[in-house]
Every structure is written in structure tokens, then in C-alpha cells.
Amino acid sequence: MGNLIINRLDYTRIKKCIVDAKRIKSISDIEAKELITELNSAKIVEPQAVPSNLVTMNSVVKLSFLNNNKHVQFRIVYPDEANLKDHRISIFSPIATALIGYKVGDVIDWIVPAGLTQLKIDEIVYQPEAAGNFNL
């Protein structure tokens, strides 16, 4: 976890979302704690300093599940923008929490109900910072 990088705006906004979600009880204490732990382990940088191969908020990410070679693509969004039909998953979802701050090529161990699986970040199709959108 020590190699994670997150931009300052994402860090601030995600922390606010956690506080709001805890207040209205739309996130469990365990989920909140896991996400806060992930955030607090990250190196915080300005949006303009984010490497273009890094998963950030509003990134469109292509992944492989290494245990079954399944491929998926989705956008990581804030909770109020989530819509599975449109492949927009909330930062509060376990998979988004596992991916935020990692880079293309990284392999992440992820625990699912069936046990441990590994995800590989194959590509970032869109990243706001790389596109010059520093305020998304």
C-alpha cells in the first residue's frame, strides 16, 4: 500500500464522501475504515503532478481477473454518480477501493466471497488529469 498516489482534490472529496455516507449510514464502519486506511497510506500530490498511468477518480479502467482471465471496464465515480448499467462504479465499492491510486500493470490481491483473486490493471482508457481536467 505504501506506493499509492492520489491527487489532493480526490483525497479531500473522498474523505468528505465518507463523512457524509457515515452520517446517513450508507457506508458501513468497516468499509469506511478500509477506504480511509487506503487513503491515509497514499502519497498526496497536486492534480497536475498525477502520472498518466495512475487510477484516479473518474478514470475509465480496463482490468483482468487473473484467476479466470475475465476482462471488465468501468469508470470510478463518486457515490451519487454510480450506475452499474452505465459501468460507473462508486469509490465505495470494494473493487474501486482496491484500485484507486494504483498504476497500469499493477496486480492487486483482492478478497472476494470465493477467496483471494488477483486483478491486473491493463489500461486506463481515460484519466481526467491526463486529459487536462484537473477539477473533475
Share of the chain above pLDDT 90, in %: 61
Neighbours of 7 (CB within 10 A): 23
Tell me, yes or no, if the pTM score tops 0.85: yes
pLDDT band at 104 (very low <50, low <70, confident <90, very high): very high
Q: Exposure pattern of 54-87 as b/e (b: 16+ CB <10 Å)?
A: bbbbbbbbebbeeeeeeeeebbbbbbeebeeeee
Class at the top of the CATH hierarchy for domain 5-126: alpha beta
| Whole-number pLDDT of residue 92 | 87
Q: Are 120 and 109 in contact (CB under 8 A)?
A: no
1 pLDDT above the threshold of 70: no
Distances in Å between the Cα of 121 and the Cα atoms of 51, 77, 83, 136 are: 15, 17, 21, 22
pLDDT in tens, 54-101: 999 999 999 999 988 899 999 999 999 999 999 999 998 888 888 888
